[in-house]
Amino acid sequence: MFDATTILAYKGKNRAVIGGDGQVTFGNSVLKGNATKIRTLYQGKILAGFAGSTADAFNLFDMFEENLEAKKGDLLKAVIDFSKAWRKDRVLRRLEAMMIVLNNEHIFILTGNGDVVEPEDGEIASIGSGGNFAISAARALKKHADLDEESLVKESLGIAADLCIYTNHNIKTLILEESTS
């Protein structure tokens, strides 16, 4: 992992949720505390989060959204094509960056190394310097607490913020309700 943010995604029974903190650092200084590192894509049907350089995030989000459009929102096909394109790009593949993308059916972690990882449990994924803290908290809370999906993500990110110096408590979330069609 690298010194960046914390992004946590949870694909629950009723909703898919992604959350991230707002801290942007430069070396050992905090530059900004309220950045938004998550967004909705493809007509609000896909959630995405980014850990790494802020400037690179915009390029990667745009590149991924182009793949989603080309694949008519098919997340599985889009992540495969995006991963190939990211890996082949000489500049982008050197980024210390990761993305999480999810909808109500799938959740993936993407890297510039060409990795497309679907979590073993298919439900919870995290990236960034506080990712291991957040996912540990999420797994424990899922098992031992009766929380809805958004509350689980917020509480887990709060725990990560208590432990990771590159993560703050300015937590934002995005939600996809389960489709009824």
Are 105 and 86 within 8 A, CB to CB? no
Q: Which of 5, 6, 25, 167 is catalytic?
A: 5
54 is catalytic: no
**Under 8 Å between Cβ of 175 and 150:** yes
Helix, strand, coil shares of the chain as percentages rounded to 5?
35, 30, 35
User: CA nearest 25: which of 127, 166, 133, 169?
Assistant: 166
Taking only Cα atoms into account, the Rg of the chain, rounded to an integer number of angstroms, comes to: 15
b (16+ CB within 10 A) / e for 102-120 = bbbebbbbbbbeeebeebe
Catalytic residue positions, numbered = 5
